[in-house]
Structures are given as structure tokens and as C-alpha cells.
Structure 1
Amino acid sequence: MLNNLYLVVFDAIFLIIAILIVYMYKRENETWEITGVKDVYRGTILGILFSSIMSVGGINIKLTFGMLLLIPLTLLMTSVNPKWGCYSYVIPFTYFLGEVLETFGYNITWFNLPYNQFIVLIGFLHLIEGILVMRYGSENTKEVPIFNGKNITKGYMMKKFWPIPLIIFSTDAMPIYAILGYMDIGYDPQNKTGQMGKIILVYGLFIILLGILTQKQLMPLNLALLIMPIGHELMFLVNYIPFRKKVKL
């Protein structure tokens, strides 16, 4: 783990990501730079820790040229709806797009990705996000106006970013990173992030279970990939309902 930490910290791409995150915090508030540095540290440590656990568990993804297909697909889906940039949507979309093309006789090898392992990876990423949101999601909140249906009241916006090293990818070229982002609004930031963090964590555990079931061939891959975005939408629904009730009051 220490060797992986050394490789990440002294990687130029990691430094660029770290500077970018600190800059985004500073742009929100001049006094938030230290929190930005802390979140870089927090995400890095948890990313390496959970990546090491996955590696020990036999989850190692060989980086292939076909995986570059995920970059434009992610950008495309993000441009349509930012939440669709999450791999809970991108990976199922990629799989079913490949299946549709194959139905019409276009067997494109780029779509032959290790979907079982990606499911587990997505679960672990949400596990990490849930922990970070529960512990640190309510830091540096920003007052924002919220319309409650009758009047404009004072609420709070939570916005956080964490870089996550993905050392489970087998590559000699460079480490691979993900950036987890969390943004929400509410009246009680600490309570809101505590509840939402638990929801994200439970979702992550559920997705890991789906990945294990598909690897053991106890569940069809297409069913697991269909459940994944549906579950993600349910997270938004569960997060929205209490806020909606609060607004009606």
C-alpha cells in the first residue's frame, strides 16, 4: 500500500487533479483551500485502501484500448444530464449499446469489457463516496435560497470533490483516477449528509453483491446491469422525498 501511495503522490496527473480540486474549492470560497487539500488526502487514502482490498480479492482490471470508448460516452451522457456521467449509468449503457449493435450484426470488440468487475468497482466507489459524505459532506456549506412552494427560505448547499486512485487497473503507463463529486441542498446539512451518506453506502454494498452474484453466475449479467441504474435512481428518489415533505410544510 505504501508503494502505491508513493506512485500516486508523485504522479504528475495526480498533482494536476489535486490542484484542480483545491482550485474549485478556492473558487467557491477563499478560505476553503485547506479543506480542498484535506479532501484530496481523504480520497487518496480511501481510494488506495479500497483498491488494495479489491486487488487482494482478485479484482484486477486490465486496461485496454477499448476502455477508451468509455471516455466519449461518459462525456456525452454527462452533457445530456450530469448525473448520467456516473458509471452506474455509463457501464450499463455501454453494455446494452453493444448488445443492440450485435443484434444488427455489428460485433464490435470494443464493447467486450469486463462488466462483472466493473460492477464491483462501481459498488466500491459508492462505498467510498458514502463514507466520505457521511463524515465530511457537511463541511463548508454555502447558504442558498430555496423556494418552499410559498416563500423563499434559507437553505444550504453541500458540494464536495474527492480524487480516488484506482490501482486495480493493470497498466504500466500511468495510474488511473476517478473523481467523486457530491452536491446536495437541504435545511440541515449535517443530518442531510448523514442520511444520504448511509443511502449511498447501502447502494454500494448492494452493487458489490450484484457483482459477486454475476461473477458466480448466480445472476444474469444483463439483469444486474439493468438493476444498477434503477437503484441509482431510487437513491435520488429516497433523497428527494424527505426534502419534498419538508418543503410542503
Structure 2
Amino acid sequence: MNPLLEIIHITLLSISRALFNFSFILVIWILYILIKKYKSVNIYNFDNSKTVINALVESILQGIIIGIIGSLIIAVIGLPINLTYYLIFLLPLALILSLINIRYLCFSYAASVMGVLSLIFRGQIIFGITLPNININISGLLALVGILHLMEGILIFFVGADDPIPIIAKKDGKIVLGHLMQKYWPLPIAMLVLSKGGISGSEIVQMPDWWPLLKDIPKDVITYFYGLVPFVGALGYSSITYCEEPKKRSKKTAVRLMIYSILLIILSIYSVGSLFLQIVGTILMAGIHEGMILYEQYIESKKEPIYTIPKKGVRIMGITPEGAASQMGMQIGDIITKINGINVLNTRQFRAILKNSFTFLWIEVLHINGDMETYEFKAYPDGITDLKVRLMPENPRIIYRHESVQKIGLFHIIKNKLRK
């Protein structure tokens, strides 16, 4: 069989074993809780066609597909990691960190902590006590995290802005509309590992002479094997934006994340045999990731929000698919200023105008870029009383604090659940 086809075959077998792993079921259960919590933020009944189960199934399918792609990249270019018992603590460590903050449900933080422990605990004897020898291949760990975040960047680029939930918040004394974006994906992956002995269920495939790309073979190993081992992880994306449209924000985040992942992969290759670069990589793995999040928060604090309560007209915060507004081409953030020549002052007047059941509408709309546009809609013979839009409320009943949505941990969610 062709080596590439053989790799695909072995990769799919390995991932199929990961799907029936208890860890995969545990991750799905945790993601169900997180998605349910995310949906509960939708207090203004933003028209969202996806139920919690639909969103979970979609995330699982996306996670499996990206897991296959990531596994093939790992196997084909050869980014192995030494097989060690301590690797099983990577996922539990990520889950423990998520108790503090949801955004820590990320392998960049867990792997960075694991890398630091590996650098500290090397089997030394201190005061007669033998410390454990964690002995994790940090170069391989950098490569693994780099690949995982490359996959995460791809997911965020294409689906990160799907299903954003509008939230009303107060910023600099103004009531503003923002968008909360949260995505979680279970990740079954076939991890390429280096072993002193044969790996159960593995097959022999003849690879090119340059393979593997990451060459870090322990000196005490004479006979070694590379194999694909099923591994379960989780990817997550969380962001709140007031000063940018959700799609623009998610794509910018995705590009930065992919650059970060490529940097980690390059660093992993050059860090082989270099303790200095391994230490640098371990610090940058979590440091740059956290820096990207803090940078987005800084941008939010400096830029003006784009969705505020207009002095004249009503602002659209949600559009029902296939509704009149959707058919006309209106967008979230648009301000409806006139209906059939009548000035729209507020939401109450907006509804009063539509109660006339006009059979023909011409609606003047102000876009967020400052352009005016007039839309027309025919509703013969019954007329139309509802454009199927959700409007930004002038007097919102609940105003979120940015911190209350962003800085939340899994422990906080579970504690509130137990109280109920």
C-alpha cells in the first residue's frame, strides 16, 4: 500500500479508538455544561436556531474532522513526542486550570506547566529524597501544542463567529451592545510518539529519509519505534467584542493564533538538544497565548464601541433568518431611521408604525460605516406587522459587566449549578 494511504488508514484507526475513550466522553460532558451556560446568556431572546444539543453535535463533528487533519500533519511531517506516563496528566491539568477561568481550558497553559515541572523534576536527590523524573520531551510538547493551536486557529477562522450572542453592557457611562463568542471542541487526535519498544497495534510503514522532521532520540535508546497513540484533548475559544464585528474579530484572532502556532513548531524543531530554547519555548507557550488575550482586552478598552443606543432610530441586534429584514438584506448593527417617510424615534414608535400593516414598506437604514440605504418590501395583500428583528433596548433590564462574563471558571459554573 502507498505510504500516505497507509498513514491515513492508521491515523483513522487510532482516532476511532480515541472516540471510545472515557476521556472523550468526559470532555463531551464538560463541553455540554459550557455550551449550556453560554446559551443561558441569551436573555434577550436573540434568534438562535441552534439548540444546546445541536451546537454540541456540531462541535463534536468539527473536532473530529480537525483532529484527523491535525493527526495527519503530525504523522506526515513527523513531530513525535516521547511516550511517558506523565502525559496522561495533560488533559486533567487543563481541566483543573479551567476551574479558575474557562479560557485556561487550553493546552498551551497545561503544557507550559508540565514543561516547567519536567525542567524541575529530573530525578535529583535532595536531602536524601529522590524526586520524580517526569522526563517529558519539551521539544515534542512544543510541537504538539503548536499543531493543536494551528487546528484551533483554522476552526476559529471559519466558524469562530458562528452563533454570537449579543450582550448589553455599560462602558464609559454608555449603554453598548457587544457580542460574546464562545466555541468549544473535543479533540480526538493520533499523537506520534517515540517508544523504546513496539507499540501495541502499530504497523510498519516505510517513511522518507528526512522523516521525522523533529529528531530528538534519547542517547540511551538503541532500538526505537514511532507509532500513533490515541489522545483526547479539548480546544476552546472565548472572546467579547464591542469595537469590532464578530467575524472581523474572530478572523484577526485566528490569524494571530496560526502565527503563534507556526512559531511554536519552528521553536520545537530548533530546541532539540538546546536546554535554553526549551526553557524559552516553555515560557513563550503560555506567555504569548496570554499576551494575545490581554492585547484583545487592551484594544477593547481603547477603542470606541460600534453598537450604541442611537439618538435617532432603533438599532438592530438580531435578525431572524428568512424574516422580512433578512430578505431585504439588513445587517446586525443597522439603525432603522424611517419607515414609509415617518421618522423612527424609539422602539415603541417603531412597533406602532408597523401596526398599520402596510402592504408596501420603504425603510431608510443607516449602516455602521455611515452609509444610508433604502430597502423596499412588498406584503400583498395582508400587509406586514413584524420585520422579524430584535432591537437594542433603550432601557435594558439586565446590564452585564464585562468582567462577569469574561472572568468565569468551571468551578463557578458547577457551584451555581449545585446551589440550584
TM-score by length of 2: 0.52
Q: Aligned match of 1:13 in 21, 28, 52?
A: 21
CA contact (8 A) 2:106 2:235 kept: no
1:197 partnered with 2:254: yes
Task: Confirm or deny that 1:177 pairs with 2:200.
Answer: no
* Farther off after superposition, 171-180 or 182-191: 171-180
SS of the residue 2:303 aligns to? helix
Question: For the structure 1 residues 219 and 5, does the alpha-carbon distance in structure 2 shift closer, same or farther, using more than 3 Å as the test?
Answer: same
Q: Partner of 1:92 in structure 2?
A: 112
Which residue matches 1:209? 266
User: Could you tell me whether the CA contact under 8 Å between 1:101 and 1:107 is conserved in 2?
Assistant: no
Is residue 2:308 matched to residue 1:227?
A: no
Q: Which amino acid in structure 1 is aligned with residue 84 of structure 2? A: T
Are 2:201 and 1:146 equivalent residues in the alignment? no
Q: Does structure 2 retain, via aligned residues, the 8 Å contact 1:186–1:243?
A: yes
1:8–1:96 Cα change, 3 Å: closer
Task: Kindly provide the amino acid, as one letter, of the partner of residue 167 in structure 2.
Answer: V
**Cα separation, partners in 2 of 1:98 and 1:108, compared to 1, 3 Å:** farther
Residue type matched to 2:71 in 1?
A: S
Rounded Cα–Cα distance in structure 2 between residues aligned with 1:149 and 1:241: 15
Higher relative contact order (CA 8 A, sep 6+): 1
Whether 2:218 is the aligned partner of 1:186: answer no
User: What amino acid sits opposite 2:239 in the alignment?
Assistant: D
Contact kept? 1:66, 1:110, Cα under 8 Å: no
Percent of counterpart pairs with the same letter?
A: 26
Query: Which residue matches 1:114?
Result: 137
Label 1:87 to 1:192 Cα distance change in 2 as closer, same or farther (>3 A): same
**Distance in 2 separating the partners of 1:168 and 1:99:** 22
- Equivalent pairs counted in the alignment come to 249
Partner of 1:125: 148
Name the CA distance, whole Å, in 2 between partners of 1:94 and 1:218.
15
The offset of 1:111, in angstroms, is: 1.8
Q: For the residues of structure 2 that align with 1:222 and 1:19, how far apart are their CA atoms?
A: 33
The answer as to whether partners of 1:116 and 1:221 remain within 8 angstroms in 2 is: yes
Residue 193 of structure 1 and its aligned partner are, at CA, apart by: 0.6
Matched residue of 2:112: which SS?
helix
Q: Which moved more, 1:200-209 or 1:218-227?
A: 218-227
Answering whether residue 38 of structure 2 is matched by residue 31 of structure 1, we say no
Residue 124 of structure 2 is aligned to residue 67 of structure 1: no
Q: Aligned partners of 2:14, 2:115: CA distance in 1, in Å? A: 32
Gaps (5+ residues) in structure 1? none
What whole-Å deviation, never above 9, does each CA across 1:178-219 have from its counterpart, x for those lacking one? 110111111311111111111111111111111111026496
TM-score by length of 1: 0.83
- Where does 1:38-57 land on structure 2 (aligned, <5 Å)? 38-57=58-77
What are the equivalent positions in structure 2 for 1:71-82 lying under 5 Å apart? 71=91, 73-82=93-102
Q: Do 1:158 and 1:182's aligned partners in 2 also have CA atoms closer than 8 Å?
A: yes
Structure 1 distance, partners of 2:35, 2:101, is 23
Which runs of 5 or more residues in structure 2 are unaligned? 1-7, 40-47, 194-198, 202-228, 307-420
Answer whether contact 2:146 2:265 (CA < 8 A) is retained. Answer: yes
d(CA) in 1 for partners of 2:78, 2:280: 23
SS of residue paired to 2:234: strand
More strand by share: 2
Q: 1:4 aligns with which of 11, 32, 37?
A: 11
- Is the helix fraction higher in 1 or 2? 1
Deviates more, 1:231-240 or 1:1-10: 1-10
Superposed displacement of residue 87, structure 1:
2.7
Aligned-pair Cα RMSD in Å = 3.2
The farther-off stretch of 204-213 and 146-155 is 146-155
| Closer, same or farther: CA 230–135 of 1 in aligned 2, 3 Å | same
The runs of 4+ residues in structure 1 deviating greater than 6 Å are none
Max Rg structure: 2
